[in-house]
Amino acid sequence: MLAEPLLDWYADAARDLPWRRTRDPYAILVSEVMLQQTQVARVVGRYEAWMRRWPTAGALAAAPVADVLGEWVGLGYNRRALRLREACAVVARDGWPEDLRTLPGIGPYTAAAVGAFAFGRHELPVDTNVRRVLERTGWTPARTPPELGQAVMELGATVCRARDAACGRCPVASGCASNGRVEVVPRAPARTRERFEDSNRWVRGRVVEALARGGPLPEGIDLGRLETAIAGLVADGLVIRDGQGLRLPD
């Protein structure tokens, strides 16, 4: 049985992350949406600032879209911020639904994470780290108390990593089918990669940031790139083009 040694290890080794100190479903939802494709270290400060500004689902639901998008700048994929606000509008109006997947933008993983970490449901949120641990250990937990999901996530993020599993310090190594068999995957030779500043995502972020601040469009960006980014933002409903020029949705 791997659950007991894993939970004992987690009690001592867990990173102190702000969303782990609460059972507030809104706070946990915010953290889960922010953490999608964004590193933990980058999220912590942004999460804390967000929670100071909008401490409840109702507060976020009442916030102007421009403010929400402005606060989200730098976290990527601005549509996530809009879906989060829409989900909070439903919660503020109707309360938390039994099936969290009925909320706008909430998929199976996020629903399971909020269900487990906020509502204490016996669900195992399966993200990339959790899936890796389960596959390597060959383990199918018979019981999935809420704290187990956090423990498995932590193990996958800090010990049972994708490229360099640290089997020598793994608390469940003795019961793991892959103990000592995980090959260290050498990093591929460095390739010439597009700088983020050269990407369309970067330009889109600069446009949203400028409009959120009420200022002019960013300078120093090629007009062709700027228009491509604006056209995409308009098509996505993140920017409105009208007789007054460009603006964020109300």
Predicted confidence (pLDDT) per residue in 32-55, tens digit: 999 998 889 999 999 999 999 999
Q: What angle do CA 106, 85, 243 make, to 5 degrees?
A: 125
Phi-psi region of 144 (alpha: psi -120 to 50; beta: other; left: phi over 0): beta
Write down the pTM of the prediction.
Answer: 0.87
Which H/E stretch holds residue 242? strand 240-242
Helix (H, G, I), strand (E, B) or coil at 227: helix
Predicted confidence (pLDDT) per residue in 98-153, tens digit: 999 999 999 999 999 999 999 999 999 999 999 999 999 999 999 999 999 999 99
The pLDDT score that the predictor gives to residue 236 is 86
Sketch out the chain's domains with CATH numbers.
3-175 (1.10.340.30), 196-247 (1.10.10)
CA distance 12 to 45: 24
CA distance 68 to 118: 23
DSSP conformational letter for 240? E
Decide if pLDDT at 200 tops 90: no
Active site residues: 32
Q: Report how far Cα 249 is from the mean position of its chain's Cα atoms.
A: 23
Helix axes 25-35, 40-53, angle to 10 degrees: 140
Decide if pLDDT at 188 tops 90: no
**Helix (H) and strand (E) counts in the chain:** 11, 2
DSSP conformational letter for 246? E
The pLDDT score that the predictor gives to residue 190 is 56
The arithmetic mean of pLDDT across residues 2-9, rounded, is 95
The pLDDT score that the predictor gives to residue 193 is 66
DSSP conformational letter for 49? H
Mean confidence (pLDDT) of the chain: 91
Predicted confidence (pLDDT) per residue in 51-86, tens digit: 999 999 999 999 999 999 999 988 888 899 999 999
